[in-house]
């Protein structure tokens, strides 16, 4: 505990907070302290993937112990040394070693939970689990873990301080709190999952049947101060700058476990992490994640259950590019948020003010949320407001959402509204409904409905794929547990969908069947057969008229090797019909080499070639291309020493588009233009090499080098593809747009 925290704890003594501590447990993975003898034991674990629900007494033993500091979880996994795999992964990275998952529902009522996962090898993941059972890995928490190896077993110790999360305590007659604890072992060799409950997060009764324990939780206050400072040197000037310095902080104050006041000045935009190469020529924006602590805390309070990634709050909008298009990142002058989680009611609000810049192009963001919860249902309202003075634009949105869950039914709904004031006023609305029914743990039926009218617009603070849209989908899932010498499970999935716009035009809609075979050796086969029914394509370009797109058939086969050993791989082959009359082939190959338990190197290759790629080249003009797209990604990560991590990424893409035909979109259909050539090439490269020294939660030192380039060029058709792919990558490396070194320090006091 830092001096700053000790001083604040002393202040807690003066106001009567309980600050005595239980027996000290050293987080080393061994579970050898006497205090563990008084812990709650879980000795029966059920096989939940495949969902045979077979009870096992010899797979996992777990202990849960609560002290006045927090909750300790000890897990002993009975996997002999020759039947387990040890592997490190970066924070929130893909886990390719044996690992445990722990779900903690601190309120004990399914109003939200936190996920903590650790590998045999030291890798970690954490996430927020919303009441809708969705998982958001953007959240990073303040918690500890360690593992220990024995010849016959390996064990994990996890410690989560009470003050690292926000929750409302529900007290029983004795004054103890009830919390839910779900514990899982992922057995890498077989792909089986064993749990202390018969439900996974995919089951509607996951929260309802989560094992509960009684704990005594002291009333504590907490103050966290997280300043950061960063310096960037640009070898290639960025917006006429050769260097940039930045400083800011986040301040979190928790007077009790169920209340949090957050304040930030110029909060960290996580500049040390680059986004992946994004070759996107569609009208649908790519959805990005956000790792800034101010925005990732208390995610479940502001969660709204709308379908198809429809969000009223997409925090990447805040602090992004300015409205005058002159800056890529707009500094945030100040941000404040308060959240209260009561026994039944939850509410919260935040306000963020961007720097106005010289042109007045900054924005102001406001949001408020209230929800009320009973045993199996909850309902609430979320409102947002954005001011954009440079555009003379004001945007409001409102959502009323409700949710019900029991051991069979899962129902989520949201009524959406938006209003945009920009010279004129425009009001839109939407409706989202998701209904699931669980016949058995292996059989589920789900129906989805989303309708957004043409005036609905939530993009000032939120995210949507499109408006003017009616989307319906029915999904049926059925798993058969085979359990013979080579096959353990076959899972069938059938999807039927329908799409239309508000004028009643039927849009292309996908119908699909998928079969997934889980083999006894840990490998998997997946077979897809999809058809996209003919319909009016009305969203290929801004303000373009619709045209009829013919039906298409798509087939795909995917193989995933076992994750054990030093090398694993996955490969897929896809054959599609695309565009107006074209065909395409798509190949993907992912390979992971793990020469050491602390190292892994990944090669990801994606290739697609076809003669029917459709792109809107201007309003009411459509181009069809013979298209070749290749994306290659090389990633390496390593634990160099205790708390010192290395990660490197090199990603490059080549897009070659040769004109097959250019069409004018008219009311009577498509009219082919002759003599027009819209061929082009698009090559991109992104690389990042990062050293990260971990001093603790929210306490790191970063040293990062980034380099990348991009070239888009209109060419005559016969000139496309004249340069080799390696030469194009070399050109983007030697003539970079991004060429920077970044040094950053942040520290939690």
DSSP string, 434-499: EEEEEEETTEEEEEEEEEE-TT---TTTSB-S-SSEEEEEEEEEEEEE--SSSEEEEEEEEEEEEE
**Distance between CA 377 and CA 379 in Å, rounded?**
7
Q: Which of 9-23, 29-43, 572-586, 641-655 has the lowest mean pLDDT?
A: 9-23
Q: What is the pLDDT of residue 20?
A: 35
Q: What is the pLDDT of residue 23?
A: 53
pLDDT band at 266 (very low <50, low <70, confident <90, very high): confident
pLDDT band at 696 (very low <50, low <70, confident <90, very high): confident
Q: What is the pLDDT of residue 238?
A: 82
Neighbouring CB atoms inside 10 A of 392's CB total 10
**Distance between CA 396 and CA 383 in Å, rounded?**
7
Residue 337, pLDDT above cutoff 90: yes
Q: Tens of pLDDT along 524-553? A: 999 999 999 999 999 998 788 999 999 999
- Cβ atoms of 70 and 217 within 8 Å: the answer is no
pLDDT band at 10 (very low <50, low <70, confident <90, very high): very low
**Which is more confidently placed, 268 or 739?**
739
Q: Angle at the Cα of 515 (from 487 to 54), degrees rounded to 5?
A: 45
Average pLDDT, the chain: 91
Could you tell me the maximum CA-CA distance found in the chain, to the nearest angstrom? 84
Residue 12, pLDDT above cutoff 50: no
Q: pTM score, two decimals?
A: 0.90
Q: What is the pLDDT of residue 228?
A: 93
Q: Which of 9-18, 254-263, 715-724 has the lowest mean pLDDT?
A: 9-18
- Per-residue H/E/C for 294-317: HHHCCHHHHCCCCCCCCECCCHHH
3-state secondary structure of 185: strand
Q: What is the pLDDT of residue 15?
A: 33
pLDDT band at 17 (very low <50, low <70, confident <90, very high): very low
Q: What are the structure tokens assigned to 378, written together? A: 């909850």
Residue 6, pLDDT above cutoff 60: no
Q: Tens of pLDDT along 60-106? A: 999 999 988 899 999 999 999 989 999 999 988 889 999 999 999 99
**Which is more confidently placed, 220 or 463?**
463
**Distance between CA 643 and CA 178 in Å, rounded?**
35
**Distance between CA 271 and CA 276 in Å, rounded?**
13
3-state secondary structure of 320: coil
Helix extents (H) in 568-674: none
From residue 421, alpha-carbon distances to 92, 354, 383, 454 in Å are: 40, 20, 16, 16
Q: What is the pLDDT of residue 269?
A: 58
3-state secondary structure of 61: strand
Cβ-based burial of 95 (10 A; exposed 0-12, middle 13-18, buried ≥19): buried
Strands 669-673, 40-42: pairing kind: unpaired
Residue 589, pLDDT above cutoff 70: yes
Q: Tens of pLDDT along 474-504? A: 999 999 999 888 999 999 999 999 999 988 9
Task: Identify the CA nearest to 475 among candidates 453, 491, 490, 451.
Answer: 491
Q: What is the pLDDT of residue 130?
A: 85
Helix extents (H) in 229-298: 293-296
Residue 421, pLDDT above cutoff 70: yes
Residue 28, pLDDT above cutoff 50: yes
Start-to-end C-alpha separation, the chain: 9
3-state secondary structure of 597: coil
DSSP letter for each residue of 326-363:
--SSPPEEEEEEEEEE-SSEEEEEEEEEE--TTTT---
- For 562: left if phi > 0, alpha if psi spans -120 to 50, otherwise beta; the answer is beta
Q: What is the pLDDT of residue 271?
A: 55
Main-chain phi, psi angles of 538, to 5 degrees: -120, 10
Q: Tens of pLDDT along 172-227? A: 777 788 999 999 999 998 899 999 999 999 898 899 899 999 998 888 888 999 99
Q: What is the pLDDT of residue 675?
A: 86
Q: What is the mean pLDDT of residues 668-672?
A: 90
**DSSP conformation class of 93:** P
**Which is more confidently placed, 185 or 407?**
185
Q: What is the mean pLDDT of residues 659-677?
A: 92
Q: What is the pLDDT of residue 734?
A: 95
- For 122: left if phi > 0, alpha if psi spans -120 to 50, otherwise beta; the answer is left
**Distance between CA 620 and CA 599 in Å, rounded?**
51
* Cα-Cα-Cα-Cα dihedral sign, residues 37, 40, 44, 45: negative
* Cα-Cα-Cα-Cα dihedral sign, residues 574, 578, 583, 588: negative
The residues, ordered by sequence, that sit 6+ positions from 497 with a Cβ below 8 Å of its Cβ are: 471, 472, 473, 474, 509, 510, 511
Q: What is the pLDDT of residue 109?
A: 86
Q: What are the structure tokens assigned to 271, written together? A: 């500049």
From residue 353, alpha-carbon distances to 266, 630, 635 in Å are: 10, 41, 37
């Amino acid at each position: 505990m830092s001096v700053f925290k000790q001083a604040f704890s002393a202040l807690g003594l003066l106001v009567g907070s309980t600050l005595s501590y239980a027996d000290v447990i050293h987080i080393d993975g061994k579970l050898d302290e006497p205090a563990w003898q008084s812990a709650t034991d879980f000795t029966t674990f059920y096989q939940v993937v495949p969902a045979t629900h077979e009870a096992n007494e010899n797979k996992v033993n777990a202990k849960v112990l609560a002290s006045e500091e927090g909750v300790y979880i000890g897990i002993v996994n009975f996997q002999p040394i020759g039947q387990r795999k040890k592997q490190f992964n970066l924070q929130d990275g893909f886990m390719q070693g044996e690992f445990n998952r722990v779900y903690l529902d601190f309120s004990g009522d399914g109003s939200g939970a936190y996920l903590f996962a650790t590998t045999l090898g030291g890798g970690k993941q954490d996430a927020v689990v919303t009441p809708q059972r969705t998982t958001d890995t953007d959240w990073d928490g303040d918690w500890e873990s360690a593992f220990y190896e024995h010849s016959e077993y390996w064990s994990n110790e996890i410690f989560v301080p009470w003050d690292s999360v926000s929750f409302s305590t529900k007290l029983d007659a004795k004054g103890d709190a009830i919390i839910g604890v779900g514990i899982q072992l992922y057995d890498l060799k077989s792909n089986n999952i064993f749990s202390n409950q018969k439900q996974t997060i995919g089951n509607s009764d996951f929260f309802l049947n989560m094992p509960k324990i009684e704990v005594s939780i002291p009333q504590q206050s907490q103050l966290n101060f997280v300043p950061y400072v960063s310096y960037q040197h640009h070898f290639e000037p960025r917006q006429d700058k050769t260097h940039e310095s930045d400083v800011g902080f986040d301040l979190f104050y928790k007077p009790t476990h169920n209340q949090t006041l957050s304040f930030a000045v110029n909060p960290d935009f996580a500049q040390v992490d680059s986004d992946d190469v994004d070759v996107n020529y569609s009208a649908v924006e790519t959805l990005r994640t956000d790792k800034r602590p101010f925005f990732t805390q208390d995610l479940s309070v502001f969660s709204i259950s709308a379908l198809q990634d429809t969000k009223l709050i997409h925090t990447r909008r805040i602090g992004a590019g300015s409205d005058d298009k002159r800056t890529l990142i707009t500094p945030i002058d100040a941000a404040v948020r308060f959240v209260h989680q009561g026994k039944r009611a939850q509410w919260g609000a935040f306000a963020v003010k961007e720097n106005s810049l010289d042109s007045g192009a900054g924005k102001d963001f406001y949001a408020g949320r209230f929800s009320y919860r009973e045993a199996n249902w909850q309902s609430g309202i979320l409102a947002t407001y954005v001011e954009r003075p440079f555009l003379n634009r004001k945007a409001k949105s409102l959502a009323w959402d409700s949710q019900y869950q029991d051991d069979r039914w899962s129902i989520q709904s949201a009524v959406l509204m938006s209003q945009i004031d920009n010279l004129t006023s425009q009001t839109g609305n939407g409706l989202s409904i998701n209904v699931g029914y669980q016949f058995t743990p292996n059989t589920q039926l789900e129906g989805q409905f989303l309708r957004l009218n043409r005036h609905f617009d939530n993009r000032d603070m939120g995210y949507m794929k499109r408006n003017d849209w009616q989307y319906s989908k029915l999904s049926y899932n059925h798993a058969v547990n085979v359990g013979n010498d080579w096959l353990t499970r076959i899972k069938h999935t059938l999807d039927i969908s329908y799409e239309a716009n508000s004028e009643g035009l039927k849009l292309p809609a996908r119908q699909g069947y998928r079969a997934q075979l889980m083999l006894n050796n840990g490998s998997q086969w997946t077979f897809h057969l999809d058809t996209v029914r003919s319909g009016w394509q009305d969203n290929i370009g801004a303000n373009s008229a619709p045209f009829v797109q013919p039906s298409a058939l798509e087939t795909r086969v995917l193989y995933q090797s076992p994750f054990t050993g030093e090398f694993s791989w996955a490969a897929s082959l896809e054959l599609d019909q695309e565009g107006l009359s074209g065909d395409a082939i798509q190949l993907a190959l992912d390979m992971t080499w793990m020469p050491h338990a602390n190292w892994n190197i990944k090669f990801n290759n994606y290739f697609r070639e076809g003669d029917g790629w459709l792109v809107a080249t201007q309003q009411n003009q459509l181009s069809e291309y013979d298209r070749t797209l290749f994306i290659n990604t090389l990633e390496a990560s390593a634990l160099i020493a205790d708390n010192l991590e290395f990660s490197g990424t090199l990603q490059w893409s080549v897009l070659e588009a040769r004109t097959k035909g250019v069409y004018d979109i008219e009311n009577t259909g498509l009219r082919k233009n002759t003599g027009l050539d819209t061929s082009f090439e698009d090559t991109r490269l992104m690389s990042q090499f990062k050293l990260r020294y971990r001093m603790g939660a929210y306490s790191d030192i970063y040293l990062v080098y980034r380099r990348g380039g991009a070239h888009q060029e209109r060419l005559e058709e016969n000139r496309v593809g004249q340069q080799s792919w390696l030469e194009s990558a070399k050109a983007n490396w030697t003539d970079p747009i991004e060429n920077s070194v970044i040094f950053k320090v942040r520290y939690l006091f």
